[in-house]
């Protein structure tokens, strides 16, 4: 279960426009990774993308993109795994589901107690 500090870290990470766009595109499958020419037998998940592919879509250097990805990883909303010579990224669906559940609870509590807010 996400504690308050973890939730705050997620929202801070997503508060940066570049990180939000990277996350949105990783989450929605906006990128496709090129085949690893050095090791074409590397098994990948169709929901994964790689750092170099993300960097191609932004006007930043690879180290800058890596820094943004590190923030997203440390917030727990993406996972990163090195396979062969590439680093693959995918959304951390457990964290995203839990965060979604938090929003659902907020809405349910708001609706159930609406009169307290607008009496």
Strand order in the sheet with 78-83: 49-50, 86-91, 78-83
Per-residue pLDDT of 74-113, as tens digits, reads 999 999 988 877 888 999 999 999 999 988 888 888 888 8
- pLDDT at residue 95, as a whole number: 96
| Any domain includes 117 | no
Contacts 24+ apart (CB under 8 A), 42-47: 42/83, 42/84, 42/86, 43/83, 44/83, 44/88, 45/88, 45/90, 47/90, 47/91
| Any domain includes 78 | yes
CATH of the domain at 45: 1.10.10.10
> Which element (helix H / strand E) includes 80?
strand 78-83
Kindly state the tokens that stand for 2.
């996400």
Per-residue pLDDT of 33-54, as tens digits, reads 655 555 556 665 666 787 878 8
Q: Which range marks the domain in which residue 59 is found?
A: 4-112
How far is residue 80's CA from residue 56's CA, in Å, rounded to a whole number? 18
| Any domain includes 119 | no
Q: CB of 54 within 8 A of CB of 65? A: yes
Q: What's the pTM?
A: 0.79
Per the structure, the count of domains in the chain is 1
| Any domain includes 118 | no
């Amino acid at each position: 279960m996400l504690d308050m500090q973890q939730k705050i870290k997620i929202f801070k990470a997503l508060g940066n426009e570049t990180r939000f766009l990277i996350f949105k595109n990783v989450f929605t499958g906006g990128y496709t990774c090129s085949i690893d020419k050095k090791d074409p037998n590397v098994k990948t998940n169709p929901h994964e993308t790689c750092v170099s592919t993300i960097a191609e879509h932004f006007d930043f250097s690879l180290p800058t993109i890596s820094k943004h990805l590190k923030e997203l990883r440390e917030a727990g909303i993406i996972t990163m795994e090195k396979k062969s010579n590439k680093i693959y990224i995918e959304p951390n669906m457990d964290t995203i589901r839990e965060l979604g559940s938090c929003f659902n609870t907020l809405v349910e509590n708001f609706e159930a107690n609406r009169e307290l807010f607008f009496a």
